[in-house]
Amino acid sequence: MDNQKGWFLVIGILLVIVMIAFAMIWLVYDAFQRTVTPVQSMTSDLATRVSPLFNPTPTLKVNPVTIIRDVRSLARLETIQYTIEKVITAEQGQGTFGALFGDKLIFVGYGKVYAGVDLNKLGADDIEIKEGILSIRLPEPEIFEATLDNEKSYVYDRETGLLTKGDVNLESSARRLAEDEIEKAAVEDGILKLARQNAESYLTRLLSSLGYSEVIFINDEPTPQP
């Protein structure tokens, strides 16, 4: 009996010790959590405050001063529009060490060309009315605008050498060439001829509605060179 009482006493003491140890561990954990949480919050707040210093948000400001350089009245009769896509290959350093220092890109340019007749260039000597017949000598058709649509134009592919990051101006050069080539392609396809034809067709309908029974356009063809 004395041995059993002794074992019960030992077990009881061990249980008390375990409970005290568990309580102490819980108290230490709770204190640790109360200490770490404010530190984490402070660290997060500090990171939020410091982040703009290393990754500043761009600030865009418009100068309130506006300078108008020129104001012109226009009488352009825009009669045709071409939409053209050109593929440009721009490259540099493609020689012996091209694999190391070369740079090559394929650029797809998407642009529009507008053409027509500038009626501001129409003078009094270019118009003649005789017996209800109206004769007009229109100014030569011209390209009003050839623009590259930067949103629809893109670099299709680019390859750079192992030891170079590429020329930052290569794409800009490709864009300028694409714009020139788009205008050139429109001219070669006959945009100016179509611009004249459309201008004559439009003016014929307009002037006929104003009471002119017949409208004749005088076209001075250039003298062929021998």
Per-position pLDDT tens, the chain of length 226: 555 555 555 566 666 566 666 666 666 556 555 654 554 555 555 555 545 555 566 777 777 777 777 776 667 889 999 999 999 998 887 777 667 777 888 999 999 999 999 999 988 888 888 877 889 999 999 999 999 998 999 989 888 877 767 777 888 889 999 999 999 999 999 999 999 999 999 999 988 888 888 888 988 755 344 3
Instruction: Look at residue 209 in the predicted model and tell me its pLDDT.
Output: 86
Residue of 148, 166, 156, 149 lying closest to 108 (CA atoms): 156
Domain positions in the chain: 1-54, 76-217
How high is the pLDDT of residue 36?
A: 46
Alpha-carbon distance of 78 to 80, in angstroms, equals: 6
CA 61 to CA 116: how far, in whole Å?
38
Cβ atoms within 10 Å of 148's Cβ, excluding its own: 19
Instruction: Please report the pLDDT score of residue 193 as a whole number.
Output: 94
Q: What is the number of helices (H) and of strands (E) in the chain?
A: 4, 7
Long-range contacts, 177-180 (Cβ 8 Å, 24+)? 177/88, 177/90, 178/86, 178/88, 178/107, 178/109, 178/111, 178/148, 178/153, 179/109, 179/111, 179/146, 179/147, 179/148
